[in-house]
Structure formats: structure tokens, C-alpha cells
């Protein structure tokens, strides 16, 4: 069976780059980077129930 002379090197480079991309994805989007969601954090950040009204805007 004939193979291209650079086939092994190309396969090695593709494998290494794939591993690097997967490692970077795990580092950036892994479980340690996800926010902790609790009822209190959702209320404080999303619902913003205790925020004062913005200045310069009338109350509805």
C-alpha cells in the first residue's frame, strides 16, 4: 500500500492540534468556569428586586 511520505507527520499534527483545542475548551468552558446558580444569586442578578430606580427616568 502506497502512502504519502508526510502522512504520519500530518496525522501527528492534526492529533496534537485537536488535543490542544479540546484542552483549551475544557479550560475556558469547563465546570469550574460555570456560575453557581442558587435561588439567591438568581434573585440578586437577574430579577434585581432591590435595585433603586435609575435616575433621570420616570417611574411607570
Cell numbers linked to 48:
434585581
The answer to whether the beta carbons of residues 41 and 35 sit under 8 Å apart is: yes
Compute the residue count for the chain: 60
Q: Out of 27-31, 33-37, 49-53, which region has the weakest mean confidence (pLDDT)?
A: 49-53
At 3-25, the pLDDT tens digits run 888 999 999 999 999 999 999 99
Cell numbers linked to 9:
507527520
- Where is pLDDT greater, at 6 or 34? 6
- Where is pLDDT greater, at 40 or 29? 29
pTM score of the predicted model? 0.53
Amino acid at each position: 500500500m502506497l502512502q504519502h511520505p508526510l502522512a504520519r507527520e500530518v496525522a501527528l499534527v492534526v492529533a496534537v492540534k485537536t488535543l490542544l483545542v479540546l484542552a483549551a475548551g475544557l479550560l475556558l468552558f469547563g465546570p469550574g468556569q460555570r456560575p453557581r446558580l442558587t435561588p439567591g444569586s438568581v434573585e440578586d442578578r437577574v430579577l434585581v428586586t432591590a435595585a433603586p430606580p435609575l435616575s433621570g427616568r420616570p417611574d411607570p
